[in-house]
Amino acid sequence: MASIFSLAEYIFPFLIILTILVFVHELGHYLVARYNKVTVEVFSIGFGPELFGWNDKAGTRWKFSMIPLGGYVKMYGDADASSRPDTDSLKKMSDEQKSNSLHSKRVGQRMAVSAAGPFANFLFAIVIFAGLFTFKGEPFIPTTVGNVAPGKIAEKAGLTIGDKILSLNGVAAKDFHELRDLIMSNKGKDVDIRYLRGSTEQTVRVKMVEVDALGVEKPVGVMGIAPSLPEYHKINPFQAATHAIQKTWSMSVDMLRGIGQMITGQRSSEELAGILSIGNMAGESVKGGIAAFLVFMAFLSINLGLVNLLPIPVLDGGHLLFYSIEGIFGKPVPEKIQEYAFMVGLVIVLGIMLISTWNDVTRLILK
C-alpha cells in the first residue's frame, strides 16, 4: 500500500508531460492535414467521454476527454480515432465532400499527415535539447560510480561510490552512456574492469552473470551501478542546435537497438516500462530540477515518436506501411486485409501494454 500511495505523488507531473507530448504529436498531424486541405473534425487530448471543449471557426472540436492516456485527431471520412477509412460514408460523399477527406488525397499527402505526428515529437525533443544546451550547457555524465545496488555484480566486485571506471576488457568509455553500452555488449562474459580509486588504478575481473533462486547462472547486461551527477559544458547556440540533433538521433538509435534486442531475445521483455514506471520516472525527474524534467520529457517525446513509427496497424507506422504498399502497387490494400491487420495490431499493442503494466506491478508494488 505504501508503494501505491508513493506513486500518487507522481501522477501530476506524469499527466503534465503526457498532455504536452500528446498535444505536440497530434498538432503535427493536425497542421499537415490542414495544410493539405483536410477537414479535421476532432482534436482530442485523452479518450472516452468529453470533459470540456470548444469549436473553432474551421469546425474542429477541440476537447479534453476523461481518460488522459493519449489522444487523437479524427478527420473527415475517418471511421474512428485510428484513422481507418469509413468506406460506407465515403461511398455516399459527393466529389466535393471527398476532396475534404484525407482518404481522397494523394499517397504522398497521406504519408505526410501520418508521419507528421512522430516528426513533431522528434522536433520537440531537438528544441528542448537545444534550449538546455544553450542556456544551461550540454550535460556530460562521467563514468564515476554514483551508487551501487546491493547484491549486484558491482558490489560483489568491490566497486564503491566515487570509483571512476576507465575501461572494460581494455575498451575505454568516455562517458556513462558508452559505459552502459559496453556493459550490455559483454553480457554473460568475463570482464576485466579497470577503474580509478583516488589516484590509484585497479583492475578486477567479474563474470556478467547472476545466480537465480535455483542456483542457475543467468547472463545479464547490467552491473548494478548508477551514474554520478552530470557536469554541464557551455556551448554556443549553433553548436547547441547541432548537438541537439545528434543527441536526438543517438537516443533514437539506442531505443531502436533496444527494441531489436528484445525482439531477438538479447534483452528481456521485463525491461519494458509501463504507465506506472513512467509516472515514477516523471516524479523523480521533477525532484531533479527543471533540467532533469525537460530531459525526461525530451526522452519520452523521442520514445513516443519512435513507437508510433513501428509498422504496426493502428499506429502511424502501420498507416505508412499501407500507404507505401499502395504507392508501390498503385492500388490500396484490400479493405478486408486492412480490417484484419488493424485487429492484429490492436492485439499486439494491448499485449505490450499488459506486459509492461505487469512489469510495473512486480517492480513497484509486489517488490
Residues tagged active-site: 26
181, three cell numbers: 553500452
First to last CA, the chain: 12
Q: Is there a contact between 136 and 232 (Cβ–Cβ < 8 Å)? A: yes
Cα–Cα distance, 292 to 363 (Å, whole number): 23
The label of the residue with cell 519512435 reads 306
**b vs e for 133-166, b when ≥16 Cβ sit within 10 Å of the residue's Cβ?**
bbeebbbebbbbbeebeeebbbebbebeeebebb
The phi, psi pair for 331, rounded to 5°, reads -150, 150
Nearest in space to 14 (alpha carbons), one of 274, 279, 276: 279
Mapping DSSP to helix (H, G, I), strand (E, B) and coil, where does residue 49 land? strand
Cα–Cα distance, 65 to 53 (Å, whole number): 9
Q: Which helix (H) or strand (E) holds 194?
A: strand 190-197
Q: What is the DSSP annotation of 150-185?
A: TTSHHHHHT--TT-EEEEETTEE-SSHHHHHHHHHH
Nearest in space to 338 (alpha carbons), one of 82, 47, 100: 82
